[in-house]
């Protein structure tokens, strides 16, 4: 029996096509994935992301615990509400999960992890907490729902839907969050567009969703979420990285912070012993077809592999993220094996569209 | 409520088949199939002259979501592929029973009788 988010009945009533995603019965689209994609690029769309898990970390030892737990360094978070994206590594330097951590105070942090890895993440964190004897407690917040409102008009439409929210959130910079009553409003997302991720009590979920619909925010499914994040060049756990891949080989070196030599974190010694052997770049297919994950890529420097691929609704071309040999560079021509045929593709930076604009 | 045309025949792999007056077969994919696929963005169709077996994978349809195979409903020879559908694949979503994909001259006209009725197909598709 798959899990249901607090908005499940709302999605079914709206005629969404439901699919299993990481053990959750989730909307993949409400009709047309491409229309939902365009709504986010051009106006405002929203996603039920309540399958993701919010965790609260509290206690005087929280900061020290987090500095040892994740590969990015929370010490750089000085302003309350500031968010940090990081990988959580195993001792071999593989990625257990990617997550966002919000700094509320030195003694209070909010962490959001992926749905498919949530149980494993919590067990790992609890074991590290116990092992280190930290003065910190981790609380699972399944009493919260999450709605991501994304697009150039997402903030204005959120303010229209939720009277009073503007005062609490108008001054937020990107990657910053603030509490608003029982709500937590973060100027974050997974689409390459402006917008908010709202965390709210479960019993407020349907009324909030309805108010956003009434304000002109289009419900969007996980299908559009995937094409949007791929166009934005954002990694998806399980596709673009997993426990067998180092963040240095997954295009996520920018999230690993070695700057404080005195700081140790799980996986650090493994990363230092094993520098990047591959890099992540984008591909644009020049022949006709669609790029998908796990297609072989033939370059002048050797063979690589696509990790995510799709048809880009914004560019109207097939695009992919690919793990390629070092030395391959944007502008190179490569070939991709699609059903036994070698098709031509061009190498680009792994960021195709941001803020409605094509980057390639 | 079914919108599966009663005058067509169907396969368990979600192709529809129309027998033309000259005995050739026109083939497309069903409304159920296009809904399951989502927005169709690419078609790879067989070339005219190719001789195919029943249930042989002979075409590929790609939606934003995934790639799927399309199978020959019966044995025969491909006599045409729909270039208009290749150029505008979204027609498969908009008009699944109008946007045909290819035509086959069947090796045995009687093979069509072994395909599913609309009623039997609906039972498969909704089962």
pTM above 0.90, yes or no: yes
Adjacent-strand bridge partners of A149: A46, A196
CA distance A111 to A199: 12
Q: What is the CATH number of the domain that holds A295?
A: 2.40.30.110
pLDDT in tens, A289-327: 999 999 999 999 999 999 999 999 999 999 999 999 999
pLDDT at residue A313 in the model: 97
In a domain, A339, yes or no: yes
Instruction: Decide: residue A278, CB within 10 A, 0-12 exposed, 13-18 middle, 19+ buried.
Output: buried
User: Helices A222-231 and A33-42 sit at what angle, rounded to 10 degrees?
Assistant: 50
In a domain, A30, yes or no: no
- Total domains in the fold of chain B: 1
Q: How confident is the model at residue B1 (pLDDT cuts 50, 70, 90)?
A: very low
pLDDT in tens, A47-72: 999 999 999 999 999 999 999 999 99
Q: How confident is the model at residue A1 (pLDDT cuts 50, 70, 90)?
A: confident
Contact list in B for residue A313 (CB cut-off 8 A) is: 64
In a domain, A136, yes or no: no
pLDDT in tens, B54-92: 999 999 999 998 999 999 999 999 999 999 999 999 999
pLDDT at residue B2 in the model: 63
Q: Does B88 touch chain A (CB under 8 A)?
A: no
Q: Nearest chain B Cα to A293, which residue?
A: B66
Query: Residue A306 half-sphere exposure, CB side, CA atoms within 13 Å?
Result: 28
Q: What is the CATH number of the domain that holds B52?
A: 2.40.50.100
Average per-residue pLDDT for chain B: 95
Contact list in A for residue B39 (CB cut-off 8 A) is: 32-34
In a domain, B4, yes or no: no
Average per-residue pLDDT for chain A: 97
pLDDT in tens, A142-174: 999 999 999 999 999 999 999 999 999 999 999
In a domain, B45, yes or no: yes
Which residue, among A301, A269, A296, has the nearest Cα to A283 in the 3D structure? A296
Q: Does A288 touch chain B (CB under 8 A)?
A: yes
User: Stretch A21-37: mean pLDDT, rounded?
Assistant: 96
A280: enclosing H helix or E strand:
strand A278-285
Structure tokens at A306: 């696509």
In a domain, A328, yes or no: yes
- Total domains in the fold of chain A: 1
Residue in B62, B64, B66 closest to A34 by CB: B64
Q: Where are the beta strands (DSSP E) in chain B?
A: 9-10, 15-19, 25-29, 40-44, 51-52, 57-63, 67-71, 76-81, 102-106
Q: Does B67 touch chain A (CB under 8 A)?
A: yes
Q: Residue B100 CB: number of other CB atoms within 10 A?
A: 22
Place of tokens 């503007």: A166
In a domain, B88, yes or no: yes
In a domain, A212, yes or no: no
pLDDT at residue B5 in the model: 97
Checking A298-304 for CB contacts under 8 A at 24+ apart, the result is A298/A334, A298/A335, A298/A336, A298/A337, A298/A342, A299/A324, A299/A325, A299/A328, A299/A332, A299/A334, A299/A347, A300/A328, A300/A332, A301/A325, A301/A326, A301/A327, A301/A328, A304/A278, A304/A328, A304/A334
In a domain, A347, yes or no: yes
In a domain, B17, yes or no: yes
CA distance A47 to A151: 11
User: Is the pLDDT score of A245 beyond 90?
Assistant: yes
Pairing of β A333-338 and β A296-299: antiparallel
Which residues constitute the domain of residue A338?
277-358
Contact list in A for residue B64 (CB cut-off 8 A) is: 33-34, 223, 227, 310-311, 313
pLDDT at residue B14 in the model: 97
Read off the DSSP letter of residue A173. P
Q: Nearest chain A Cα to B69, which residue?
A: A339
């Amino acid at each position: 029996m798959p899990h249901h988010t607090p908005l499940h009945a709302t999605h079914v009533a709206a005629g969404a096509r439901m699919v299993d995603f990481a053990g959750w019965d989730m909307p993949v689209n409400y009709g047309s994935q491409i229309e939902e994609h365009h709504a986010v690029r051009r106006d405002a769309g929203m996603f039920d992301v309540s399958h993701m898990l919010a965790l609260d970390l509290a206690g005087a030892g929280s900061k020290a615990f987090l500095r040892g737990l994740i590969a990015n360094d929370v010490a750089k978070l000085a302003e309350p509400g500031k968010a940090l994206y990081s990988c959580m590594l195993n001792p071999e330097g593989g990625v257990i999960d990617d997550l966002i951590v919000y700094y509320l105070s030195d003694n209070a942090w909010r962490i959001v992890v992926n749905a498919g890895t949530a149980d494993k993440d919590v067990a790992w964190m609890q074991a590290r907490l116990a092992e280190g004897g930290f003065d910190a407690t981790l609380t699972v917040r399944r009493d919260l729902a999450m709605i991501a409102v994304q697009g150039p008009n997402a903030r204005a439409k959120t303010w229209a839907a939720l009277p009073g929210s503007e005062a609490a959130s108008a001054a937020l910079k990107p990657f910053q969050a603030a509490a608003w009553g029982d709500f937590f409003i973060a100027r974050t997302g997974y689409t390459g567009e402006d917008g908010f991720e709202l965390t709210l009590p479960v019993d407020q979920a349907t009324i909030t969703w309805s108010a956003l619909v009434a304000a002109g925010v289009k419900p969007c499914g996980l299908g559009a979420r995937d094409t949007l994040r791929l166009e934005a060049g954002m990694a998806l756990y399980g596709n673009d990285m997993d426990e067998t891949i180092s963040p240095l080989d997954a295009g996520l070196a920018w999230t690993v912070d070695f700057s404080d030599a005195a700081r140790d974190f799980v996986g650090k010694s493994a990363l230092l012993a094993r520098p990047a052997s591959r890099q992540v770049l984008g591909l644009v297919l020049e022949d006709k077809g669609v790029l998908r994950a796990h297609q072989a890529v033939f370059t002048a420097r050797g063979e690589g592999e696509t990790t995510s691929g799709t048809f880009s609704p914004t560019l109207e071309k097939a695009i992919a993220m690919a793990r390629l040999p070092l030395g391959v560079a944007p502008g190179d021509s490569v070939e991709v094996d699609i059903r036994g045929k070698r098709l031509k593709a061009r190498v680009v930076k792994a960021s195709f569209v941001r803020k409605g604009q094509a980057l390639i | 409520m079914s919108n599966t045309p009663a005058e067509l025949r169907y396969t368990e792999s979600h192709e529809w088949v129309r027998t033309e007056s000259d005995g050739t077969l026109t083939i497309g994919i069903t409304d159920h199939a296009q809904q399951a696929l989502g927005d169709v963005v690419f078609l790879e169709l067989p070339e005219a002259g190719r001789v195919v077996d029943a249930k042989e994978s002979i075409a590929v349809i790609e939606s934003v979501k995934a790639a799927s195979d399309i199978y020959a409903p019966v044995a025969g020879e491909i006599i045409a592929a729909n270039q208009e559908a290749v150029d505008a694949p979204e027609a498969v979503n908009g008009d699944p029973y109008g946007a045909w994909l290819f035509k086959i001259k069947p090796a045995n006209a009687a093979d069509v009788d072994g395909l599913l009725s609309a009623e039997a197909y609906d039972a498969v598709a909704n089962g």
